[in-house]
Structure 1
Amino acid sequence: MIVWARVGYGIALLVLPSPLLRLVTGQPATAREQALTRVLGARLLAQAAVTDVRPDAVSVALGAEVDFVHAVSMLAWAAVDRGSRRLTLLSAATAGLFAAAGAAQARRTPAVAHARTGDALATLVRLRRRIAESVARYTLPRSVRAALKT
């Protein structure tokens, strides 16, 4: 379910940045705001592709971590830039929801994605898992890694 929300939101940000920004701020969007909105949309789509194709617990947890970092960075930006506060707080709230949903999904997702041997997609899934485990070793707390059985 979270994958469709992420994909839908990512496509909307990528394709319709100006109307969405106008809806939130009530003002025409600047070129900078539109560009940043498109970058965020592309990041959401890339994250959905990486974490939600044959998901495993570690990859989903790292996706949640990315959303959490995004939420924190938007809160910091809101504290510094009053002019974009409305946008950054909305972005922080949305990222926070994705982070919470991703964390909950990680607890329900199998530790290892089931993949057929020799399948090209299976090879990519195994590579993603190795990378995710390496990143998790340095970024996720030990208690979280233990809960995800990594």
Structure 2
Amino acid sequence: MTRRHLTLTAPIALEVGRAAYGLVGLVAPARIAALELGRVPGRGTVTVARILGARHLAQAVAVLATGGPEAHRLGGGVDALHAASMVPWAAAARSERRYYVTSGVVAAALALLEWRASRQPV
């Protein structure tokens, strides 16, 4: 019987960081949004923050479970869609635009990191 050892590589560290970010967004969405807004967020933004936290957590678990370049490419695509979807949200939510812009920038950065992770040897 062989044991598989998990080595902390950059792609794994990326997913562990994403999981932590997602978990905080899921359990404390008002705190995450308040940090980005500099004030108490509205109920709608808290709901969006919780949903996005769950998305990040689920994506991290899925990518870690499946591994490989394909999982990172797919994850990067999901992040790119997330980033693009924040543009209309930011346009519509004037008073809380900063949250949606920040979320979009984070998602775009994660998309680039996922693409990079997909190109690293396993």
Using the size of structure 1 for normalisation, the TM-score is 0.67
What residue in structure 2 maps to residue 85 of structure 1? 97
Q: 2-side partners of 1:62 and 1:25: how far apart?
A: 30
**Matching of residue 63 in structure 1 with residue 75 in structure 2:** yes
Q: Offset at 1:24?
A: 1.9
The one-letter code matched in structure 1 to 2:63 is: T
Taking the aligned partners of 1:13 and 1:26, their CA distance within structure 2 comes to: 16
**TM-score normalised according to structure 2 size:** 0.82
The 8 Å contact of residues 55 and 109 in structure 1, kept in 2 or not, is answered as no
Equivalent residues in 2 for 1:14-93 (5 A)?
A: 14-93=26-105
* 1:84 counterpart letter in structure 2: E
Question: Offset at 1:54?
Answer: 4.2
Runs of at least 4 residues off by over 4 Å: none
The alignment yields a C-alpha RMSD, in angstroms, of 1.5
The one-letter amino acid of 2:28's match is: L
Structure 2: unaligned runs, 5 residues or longer: 1-12
Aligned length: 110
5+ long unaligned stretches in structure 1: 111-150
Greater gyration radius: 1
Shift of the alpha carbon at 1:109? 4.4
Residue 77 of structure 1 deviates from its aligned partner by: 2.1
Distance in structure 2 (CA, Å) of the matches to 1:81 and 1:109: 41
Instruction: Please tell me the residue identity of whatever aligns with 1:8.
Output: A
* Residues 46 and 83 (structure 1), Cα distance of their counterparts in 2 relative to 1, 3 Å cut: same
Given that residues 13 and 37 in structure 1 are in contact (C-alpha distance below 8 angstroms), is that contact kept between their aligned partners in structure 2? Answer: yes
What SS does structure 2 have at the residue aligned with 1:108?
A: coil
The 1:78–1:100 alpha-carbon spacing in structure 2 relative to 1, beyond 3 Å, is: same
